[in-house]
């Protein structure tokens, strides 16, 4: 096998090695590029994010882009004497469209973020040099990004952005850039830290939302399978809330009683975006008790006894349904929620089997804190195998962490629009490898773009330049270098046979004793 990333020898060999190890920080830049949307999803505008990386206000009057797009910042204006000042640690955006259009495309832009433009020209989808200079032509910051090599493939046309990792390290090389954790990125927010991550709220259901439901007319013990995300509920009925029965009250979906304790409901929803934590709020029209599950895990119960319950467990007390009850407020669901497909399962219990009334309807919202960590941390593509007709016929996934990773809601695609996505199922054991048989077409020229997605979020992305003679690609170490060639290690750790380099570094004297005259 041969490596697909073979660096050229450098004249400054030791300096190159130190830079690779991250030992030489870049000279501090006052102004930096912090996020670039250079190939947005169809219909969305690009943008460039710029941050003042100092505690000193800077005069940016007549600053201009000397490479890349064409835009010059306004000069001093007597009617607004501070408009040309880039405030300390301020983040601004430069847009190809007017401010209203950009905010409409990216509603997460903070209200106080200043937006400049429109610029003319366009950011190159294949990469280019982008340089910001002051009015005297002095370069303030520059980057030469690319859509190949080791630049993040997920930032090229999937909706994710090119995002700077560390504001105090080099602006110009791929090691300090990654694909944004969230689709559409975080325009206008600047470099993120754990302490200032934004939150976002998603409305999951309202009292009149549609649910799948089972009145359990056969009075059966449903066990626990019905609450799992992969349970087949095709035979269940469907209706809108509020659900219930009481001779004096109208309901959108009438239920029957007939001596039953328990009624079951399920609702599927998509949750877009990666998150570091998530809380749920629930208020409900309810008669009498209820238990909520998210992807098979209990998240809260109300007016129900503690401990194990079954389909004949009565609610703790009777209650009237007309007044909304607070079921959950800020309950942590971080371990149960998934990016992509989720299933809420609800069991409603009556106080007594002979009761003539039952009711359920709920307002449900989730507030999540965005994730600062790389979206590539939980699951990665580790091996790709090609058939004799040069199409992908199986892909191996690896879970490098300490937890089993469910594939529910995930898919694999070879197009940036995800139109040819193939849904996945099952799970990958902690530290394990799982090959997925499937058929995915690739370009005739040998280029391979492969995306592991969950909802609209890219979990991992691989871009390879393949010779048609190469049967398989293996990543070693997993998630880093890719090697193409013959043979495979399906469902087991990768070990490309020719990954060993013919040139190795076996000793470095980086700080010799000065009194011995020893050369480094």
Q: What is the pLDDT of residue 448?
A: 87
**CATH level 3 topology of 201-370:** Jelly Rolls (2.60.120)
Rounded to an integer, what distance in angstroms lies between the CA atom of residue 74 and that of residue 88? 18
Question: Does the pLDDT at position 243 exceed 80?
Answer: yes
SS3 481: coil
Residues 6+ apart with CB under 8 A from 370: 181, 182, 186, 192, 197, 198, 199, 200, 273, 274, 275, 276
Nearest to 457, CA basis, from 348, 513, 374, 383? 374
- The pLDDT value recorded for residue 181 is 82
User: Domain spans of the chain?
Assistant: 26-193, 201-370, 380-485
End-to-end C-alpha distance for the chain, whole angstroms: 35
Candidate from 138-142, 404-408, 432-436, 443-447 with smallest mean pLDDT: 443-447
Are the C-beta atoms of residues 127 and 67 closer than 8 Å to each other? no
Mean pLDDT over all residues of the chain? 85
Q: What is the pLDDT of residue 302?
A: 95
Ranges 290-299, 372-381, 458-467: which has the least confidence: 372-381
Chain centroid offset of residue 103 CA: 21
Tell me the mean pLDDT in the region 218-239.
87
CA–CA separation, 355 and 346 (whole Å): 20
Distance CA 157, CA 360 (A): 43
Q: CB under 8 Å to 463, separation ≥6 — which residues? A: 147, 148, 153, 156, 447, 448, 449, 450
How confident is the model over 50-63, as pLDDT tens digits?
999 999 999 999 99
What 8-state DSSP symbol labels residue 107?
T
Strands 358-370 and 243-245: antiparallel
Whether the Cβ atoms of residue 474 and residue 192 lie closer than 8 Å to each other? no
Cis amide bond preceding 242, omega within 30? yes
Residues 155, 143 contacting (CB under 8 angstroms):
no
Residue-wise pLDDT tens digits, 417-440:
899 999 999 989 888 999 999 988
pLDDT at 20: 44
Which of 130-144, 303-317, 351-365 is predicted least confidently? Answer: 351-365
By the 10 Å C-beta count (0-12 exposed, 13-18 middle, 19+ buried), 196 is classed as exposed
pLDDT band for position 496 (cuts 50, 70, 90): confident
CA atoms 188, 194, 198, 204: torsion sign: positive
The SS3 call for residue 1 is coil
Q: Which of 21-25, 28-32, 38-42, 97-101 has the lowest mean pLDDT?
A: 21-25
Q: Read off the pLDDT of residues 67-108 as tens digits, 9 standing for 90 and up.
A: 999 999 999 988 888 899 999 999 999 999 999 999 999 998
Please compute the mean of the pLDDT values over residues 469-489 and round it to a whole number: 86
Higher pLDDT, 242 or 191: 242
- 107 is written with which tokens? 């509603």
233 phi and psi, to 5 degrees? -105, 20
CATH number of the domain at 380-485, please? 2.60.40
Question: Chain centroid to CA 310: how far?
Answer: 37
Tokens 């389909």, residue located:
311
For 25, counting Cβ atoms within 10 Å of its Cβ (0-12 exposed, 13-18 middle, 19+ buried), the class is: exposed
Q: Determine what percent of the chain is predicted with pLDDT higher than 70.
A: 86
CA distance 310 to 289: 13
pLDDT at residue 507, rounded to an integer: 80
Task: Judge whether residue 411 has pLDDT over 70.
Answer: yes
Between vectors from CA 372 to CA 450 and to CA 474, what angle results, nearest 5°?
Answer: 30
Distance CA(185)–CA(490), nearest Å, equals 35
What CATH number has the domain spanning 26-193? 2.60.40.1260
Mean pLDDT of 182-201: 79
Q: Among the listed ranges 27-36, 214-223, 471-480, which one has the minimum average pLDDT value?
A: 214-223
- Residue 216: the pLDDT is 62
pLDDT at 217: 63
**419 CB burial (10 A radius; 0-12, 13-18, 19+):** exposed
What DSSP state is assigned to residue 94?
A: E
DSSP H or E segment with residue 17 = helix 13-20
Of the pLDDT bands very low, low, confident and very high (cuts 50, 70, 90), residue 125 is very high
Question: Which class for 450: exposed (0-12), middle (13-18), buried (19 or more C-beta within 10 A)?
Answer: buried
Provide CB contacts within 8 A for 471, sequence distance 6+.
Answer: 385, 386, 485, 486, 487, 488
Question: If you count them, how many residues does the chain have?
Answer: 520
What's the pLDDT score for residue 14? 38
**Dihedrals φ, ψ of 267, to 5°?**
-145, 130
- 380-485 and 201-370 share a CATH fold: no
Q: Give the Cα separation of 184 and 378 in Å (integer).
A: 21
* Structure-model confidence comparison of residues 245 and 328, the more confident one: 328
300 Cβ partners below 8 Å, 6+ apart? Answer: 280, 282, 291, 292, 327, 328, 331
Residue 9 banded pLDDT, cuts 50, 70, 90: very low
Residue 176 confidence (pLDDT)? 92
Backbone CA torsion sign across 294, 425, 185, 151: positive
Place of tokens 């070879």: 414
Q: What is the pLDDT of residue 173?
A: 81
Give the least confident one: 14-18, 47-51, 201-205, 265-269.
14-18
Residue 292 belongs to what H/E stretch?
Answer: strand 289-294
Return the beta strands (E) in 371-467 as ranges. Answer: 380-386, 392-398, 405-406, 410-413, 422-423, 427-428, 433-440, 447-454, 457-465
Q: Which has the closest alpha carbon to 269: 326, 320, 210, 220?
A: 210
């Amino acid at each position: 096998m041969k490596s697909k990333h073979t660096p050229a020898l450098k004249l400054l060999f030791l300096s190159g090695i130190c830079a690779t190890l991250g030992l030489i920080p870049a000279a501090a830049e006052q102004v930096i590029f912090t996020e670039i949307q250079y190939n947005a999803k169809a219909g969305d505008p690009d943008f460039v994010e710029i941050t003042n990386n100092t505690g000193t206000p800077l005069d940016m009057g007549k600053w201009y882009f000397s490479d890349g797009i064409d835009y010059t910042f306004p000069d001093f204006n007597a009617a607004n004497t501070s408009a040309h000042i880039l405030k300390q640690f301020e983040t601004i955006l430069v847009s190809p469209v007017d401010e209203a259009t950009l905010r409409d495309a990216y509603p997460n832009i903070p209200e106080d973020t200043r937006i400049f433009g429109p610029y003319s020209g366009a950011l190159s989808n294949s990469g280019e040099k982008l340089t910001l200079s002051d009015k005297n032509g002095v370069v303030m910051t520059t980057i030469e990004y690319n859509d190949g090599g080791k630049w993040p493939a997920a930032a090229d046309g999937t909706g994710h952005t090119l995002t700077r990792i560390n504001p105090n390290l080099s602006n110009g090389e791929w090691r300090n850039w990654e694909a944004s954790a969230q689709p559409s990125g975080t325009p206008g927010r600047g470099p993120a830290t754990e302490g200032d991550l934004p939150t976002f709220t998603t409305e999951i259901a309202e009292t009149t939302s549609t649910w799948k439901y089972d009145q359990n007319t056969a009075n059966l013990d449903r066990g626990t399978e019905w609450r799992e995300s992969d349970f087949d509920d095709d035979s269940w009925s469907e209706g809108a809330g509020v659900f219930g029965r009481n001779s004096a009250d109208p309901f959108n979906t009438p239920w029957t009683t007939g001596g039953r304790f328990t009624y079951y409901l399920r609702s599927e929803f998509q949750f877009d975006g990666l998150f570091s934590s998530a809380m749920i709020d629930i208020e409900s029209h309810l008669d009498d008790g209820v238990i909520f599950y998210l992807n098979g895990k209990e998240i809260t119960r109300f007016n129900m006894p503690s401990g194990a319950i079954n389909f004949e467990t009565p609610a703790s007390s009777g209650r009237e349904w007309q007044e909304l009850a607070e079921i959950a407020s800020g309950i942590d669901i971080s371990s149960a929620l998934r990016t992509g497909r989720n299933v809420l399962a609800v069991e409603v219990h009556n106080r007594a089997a002979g009761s003539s009334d039952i009711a359920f309807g709920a307002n449900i919202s989730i507030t999540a804190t965005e994730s600062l960590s790389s979206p590539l941390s939980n699951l990665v593509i580790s091996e790709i195998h090609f058939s004799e007709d040069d199409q992908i016929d199986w892909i191996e996934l690896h879970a490098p962490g300490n937890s089993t990773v469910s594939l529910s809601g995930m898919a694999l695609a070879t197009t940036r629009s995800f139109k040819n996505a193939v849904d996945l199922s099952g799970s990958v054991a902690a530290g394990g490898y799982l090959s997925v048989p499937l058929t995915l077409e690739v370009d005739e020229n040998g280029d391979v773009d492969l995306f592991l997605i969950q909802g609209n979020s890219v979990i991992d992305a691989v871009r390879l330049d393949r010779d048609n003679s190469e049967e398989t690609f293996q990543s070693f170490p997993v998630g880093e270098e890719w090697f193409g060639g013959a043979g495979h290690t399906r469902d087991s750790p990768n070990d490309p046979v020719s990954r060993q380099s013919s040139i190795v570094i076996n000793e470095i004297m980086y700080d010799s004793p000065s009194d011995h005259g020893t050369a480094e």
